[in-house]
Structure 1
Amino acid sequence: MLENGRKVLKEGVLEKRSDGLLQRWKKKLCVLAEDGVLLLPPKRPHSGGDATRAKELSFANMKTVDCEERKGQYVYFTVVMMDGKEIDFRCPQDEGWNAEITLQMVQYKNRQAVLAVKSTRQKQLLLAGHRTVQTSSDLA
């Protein structure tokens, strides 16, 4: 369980390509939750990780997970954010991070779509009920 009560679905180490000129692969502690992915510096003995340097990739801001490629022992994939930013990752082939992130993102988007439809229907029912009340009072 994360601090804010979010359920941890998967935790492990992923490698993220840096944005810098050299674009080195850096290990990150990755925590997959129902609403996004939290990236932390890898835990070192006696440090417990540095939560202040955490980066959160929220599914609300995530567009897609794509560009899967298998080379040697790694699977390479890219997380594309709504603003167009692309974040490259790699992990050992047997860990399936790309599939887990994709699955959770799709489930999150589906939950949001269901909530949006329910909200729209409730608004329509309220408006229809309000019109019925107005029509009944107009007749009186």
Structure 2
Amino acid sequence: MASKIMKGSGEILCEGELEKRSDSLFQLWKKKRGVLTEDRLSLYSGSSDRVKELRFSSILKVDCVEHTNKYVYFTVVTTNFKEIDFRCTGKSSWNAFITLALIDYQNRRALEGFRRHRFQGVASEEQPESEEQRALSP
């Protein structure tokens, strides 16, 4: 079951077990330990220290595919349109946690872009006119 932890800078938003469908021919479900932070989902395999990171900068969206009595099946779609299938117990709500964290990340990036664009516009307005620009003005 996923557990929510208080949000802070770089802190864990959610941690727990979820399953990822393998890319192999048989497409088996493999248990992973997931760690969700404000900019990525890290997946740990079993007892090994191998980690796969899905950074939100490379995620386009999260699609909820199906709810059953036992599992919620969902797909993470990357910016290069690769689909990664997951499932979790309905109680853990991994799909909701990931979706909300992704939206929060995308909103922060949009605000940063707006502020950067606005700051550049204000900075260019404040620059003194060159003699060349004044000569061209009517």
Short-chain TM bin: 0.7 to 0.9
Alpha-carbon distance, 1:36 to partner: 1.1
Which segments of structure 1 move beyond 3 Å, counting only runs of 4 or more? 135-139
Distance 1:78 1:138 in 2: 57
Match of residue 104, structure 2, among 103, 107, 116: 107
Structure 2 portions without partners, runs of 5+: 1-8
Q: TM-score, normalised by structure 2?
A: 0.85
Q: Deviations over 1:43-101 (max 9, x none)?
A: x4xxxx41xx2111111110000033112300000000000100000000111000000
* CA root-mean-square deviation: 1.8
CA deviation profile, 1:7-58 (whole Å, cap 9, x unmatched): 111110110000000000000110000001001113x4xxxx41xx211111
Q: Structure 1 residue 134: deviation in Å?
A: 1.6
Specify which of 107, 129, 134 is matched with residue 129 of structure 2: 134
Identity of aligned residues (%): 44
* 1:56 equivalent in structure 2: 53
Q: How many residues align?
A: 126
8 Å contact kept, 2:64–2:73: yes
Structure with higher helix content: 1
Tell me whether 93-102 or 64-73 shows the greater mean CA deviation.
Answer: 64-73
**TM-score normalised by length of structure 1:** 0.84
Secondary structure of 2:26's counterpart equals coil
